[in-house]
Structure 1
Amino acid sequence: MMMYRSHHPTTASLRREVRLRRYRQLLLLNAKLADPTNPLTKLSKESFHELLSIIEGDLDRLDNRGRPLPASYQLLLALHFYCTGSYQKEVGEQHGLEVSQPTVCRTIHRVSEALAQRYSQFVVFPSTTQASEIHERFYKVARFPNVIGAIDCIHMKISNPGGTMAEQCRNSKGWYSINCQVVVGPDMRILTAIVRWGGSVPDWLIYDNSRLRRVLEHGEYGHLVGDAAYQCQRYLLTPLPCPSTPAERSYNRAHSSTRRRARRAFGMIRRRFQCTARELRSNPKTSCAVILSCFALHNFILQRQGPQEDAEALYAPDDGPQDRFSGECDPEGESYRQHIIHEWFSSDAPEEERSGRE
């Protein structure tokens, strides 16, 4: 005769659960917040508490059911994940708390959503009155005129989302990613970012469908500099594919040095927030919120604490697809690029002399 085991919890298991809950509550009551100045968070204590004050209202629960984690611990757990990219189970074992993996997962989601909702407080596109100042600062980088920002895309790895989204997120190299378009200023601060397209979408298509393009076409900001994945347009200049004159080579060098600001910003982000250098294993919506949170924190830290001492040396290698734009040329963009070369680079010294000065 087959015997069936009861699924009702035994008295011993209930007592054990009560003891575990009481132990966790004791830890929550007595544990001290880890010093936010440690290498994990890269934040000063003042910056940590300022960041906490911004999102604390979204993290606190109205009831105390289940002894929820304090907002400070929720932020600390999320920062630990952002900065180390560790498995969520390992994150939950830090800071004196035995937090389960599902709790860590919910905490990261909650903190990321809170930061993403306040993204506009951290990432602000300059006004037209600020454009001339940005032009001057970019000009000091490599003598390239009227630049409002360096535009580039970076592929953030994600796990297979499955379903219809799988093919949308599979890039030309065969792995799954979110293709993130970012515009970076002269100080490597992010001016604007688009984080909602799958890895199969080419860079130029993201820009063509963006509000940013429509804003720039009003003609009040100057132009962007981007790589060969974009179409050369009046307000987005790309490098010449085959420079043949000293002026064209000077243009390409200045263009490359200016555009490199974006790759350096990516290098800073990937070094500071290791989760962006690894595969994000959450669903695509949460992955996008995590990426936006890291972009927002990048700006927050730059504004409060300035760039790292070795920021100029950081450079993110482009391990994502490097597809070139293969569509039709834009005559207006090609004409404007030649105008920039003639007006700003035709009087440069020969290539050998310029290379010696640099």
Structure 2
Amino acid sequence: MNQLFDISSDDEDIIDFVEHLERPRKRRRYQERKNHLDYWDDQEFYNRFRFSKPSVRRILEKIEEAIKSPTNWNHALSPIEMLLLTLRYYACGSMLIVVGDFAGVHKSTASKAIFKVTQAIASLRLEYIKFPETQEERNKTQLEFYKIARFPRVLGALDCTHVRIQAPGGENGETFRNRKGFFSFNVQTVSDANLKILDIVARWPGSSHDSTIFNQSRLCGRFENNEMGNGLLMGDGGYPLKSYLITPLANTNTRAENLFNEAQIRTRNPVERSYGVWKRRFPILSSGISLKTEKVQWIIVATAVLHNMACDLKEQDPPSLSPEEERAFNFVNNVPVEPVRRNGNNNHARTNLIMYFENL
């Protein structure tokens, strides 16, 4: 055969490469992006982003310098577009490709923008998540709790809640499986009487017991070192009874004990209500976060910061959950708590409080 037509495989690769160079480069297409602030009326905007337009602008003022791109090269997202994209992700808990389409960007761009905004918001935690430090702040907090059920000296209501995540895999993956069988972070918070989060610990896997998380927390150390004076925490039966951590009686026999238990439960109730508001505002915390565990921790803290900002800005209550969301919320949050052994040395603290209710 004529050697002119005897083309080797190497020659074919060269020809394909030359043809590739001659082909016109595919033009990059940019999706149209809505101006959501102008497009939606106030209520529709709130339903989609869980914040009013003025509140979104306030949030933007706090983080704009940290998230803005140095140039508009490659049709970069503006700070307001990045913030709304992130809020939409928190509000619907959808896959990145879905919220990317909503914002008119590729899912990889959406992922980078969400994490950048999440870190910027979470970095505000020392400003927005803080325990009362001065005596004036403590007096105010104790008075607000006292108004609920006349329980004295209370600085916070303590509890844990599960934030659902995808199976993390790896050697320690099974430690994230909780007692209901799904994967989660067990997140400890302390709430004030107005549902604001005063303290948060978001690093423990779902199999961790509530009491273990508290005993290893910095807040426990501060109470153990008597930094909070005569202040008290309210906890449920999953916590050990301590001189500063008051739990309900398992059984009541007298009027004073009944009054004590009723007041203790009502005074502790704000932390449970705070979980309802927090997770209804940001359903991603209940539906499950399909990201690496390190990024999940940032999201938990960021949404806690936003929850407190919503409280400060007097935002309306988040919309009610759909029946499907309600089932998911109940499944995630009603994880049974194993009782812990009581420390008998601290019974006198609770006994003194029962005597206080006997004299009411």
TM-score (norm. length: structure 2): 0.85
Kindly provide the CA deviation profile for residues 220-267 of structure 1, in whole angstroms up to 9, marking residues without a partner as x: 251110111110111111111112222111111111111111111111
Contact 1:204 1:325 in 2 (8 A): no
Paired residue for 2:302, among 293, 298, 304? 293
The range that moved more, 329-338 or 146-155, is 329-338
* Count, aligned residues: 334
Match of 1:233 in 2: 242
Aligned twin of 1:80: 88
* Partner of residue 138, structure 1: 145
State whether structure 2 residue 111 is matched by structure 1 residue 105.
yes
The partner residue of 2:97 within 85, 89, 94 is 89
Query: Contact 2:90–2:283 at 8 Å: present in 1 too?
Result: yes
What SS does structure 2 have at the residue aligned with 1:138? Answer: helix
1:140-289 to structure 2, matched below 5 A, reads 140-217=147-224, 218=226, 219-220=228-229, 222-289=231-298
Q: How far apart, in 2, do the equivalents of 1:300 and 1:122 lie?
A: 7
- Pick closer, same or farther for the CA change 1:225–1:156 going to 2, 3 Å: same
Change beyond 3 A, Cα 1:7–1:44: farther
Q: Structure 1 residues 40 and 201 mapped into 2: Cα distance closer, same or farther (>3 Å)?
A: same
Matches of 2:215 and 2:339 in 1, distance apart?
Answer: 12
What RMSD in Å do the two structures reach over aligned CA positions?
A: 2.6
Q: Which moved more, 1:149-158 or 1:7-16?
A: 7-16
Shift of 1:45: 2.5
Per-residue deviation, 1:324: 2.7
Q: Share of identical aligned residues, percent?
A: 29
Which of 10, 31, 35 is the aligned partner of 1:32?
35
| Correspondent of 1:326 among 340, 347, 350 | 340
Task: Describe how 1:63-74 pairs up with structure 2 within 5 A.
Answer: 63-74=71-82
Shift of residue 111 of structure 1? 1.1
Q: Is the 8 A contact 2:52 2:315 kept in 1?
A: no
1:12-34: CA deviation from partner (whole Å, max 9, x where unpaired): 98533x241xx45xx46xx5343
Residue by residue over 1:20-69, the C-alpha shift from the partner in whole angstroms, topping out at 9 and shown as x without a partner, is 1xx45xx46xx534348412223232221221121112212234443321
Counterpart in the other structure of 1:340: 353
Structure 1 counterpart of 2:166, one-letter code? S
What's the secondary structure of 2:118's corresponding residue? Answer: helix
Q: Residue 230 of structure 1 contacts residue 324 of structure 1 at CA under 8 Å; is this kept in 2?
A: no
CA distance in structure 1 between the aligned counterparts of 2:89 and 2:190, rounded to whole angstroms: 25
**How far off is 1:277 after superposition?**
1.5
Matched AA of 1:225? M
Question: Aligned in 2, Cα 1:33/1:309: closer, same or farther, shift over 3 Å?
Answer: closer
Any gaps of 5 or more consecutive residues in structure 2? 1-7, 321-325
**Counterpart Cα distance in 2 of 1:347 and 1:6:** 93
Q: Quick one: which amino acid aligns to residue 132 of structure 2?
A: P
Contact 1:151 1:184 survives alignment (8 Å): yes
What secondary structure sits across from 1:197 in the alignment? Answer: strand
Please name the residue that 2:61 is paired with. Answer: 53
Distance across 1 between alignment mates of 2:294 and 2:18: 37
Map of 2:4 onto structure 1: none
1:244 counterpart SS class: coil
Retained in 1: the 8 A contact 2:237–2:340? no
Q: Please report how far the alpha carbon of residue 286 of structure 1 lies from its aligned counterpart in structure 2 after TM superposition.
A: 0.6
Change beyond 3 A, Cα 1:186–1:160: same
- Which amino acid in the other structure matches residue 352 of structure 2? H
- Return the alpha-carbon distance in structure 1 between the equivalents of residues 309 and 179 of structure 2: 33
Using the TM superposition, give the Cα deviation of residue 205 of structure 1 relative to its aligned residue in structure 2, in angstroms.
0.9
Matches of 1:194 and 1:13, distance apart in 2: 56
TM-score normalised by structure 1 residue count: 0.85
CA contact (8 A) 2:156 2:190 kept: yes
Q: 1:252 to 1:310 in 2, by over 3 A?
A: farther
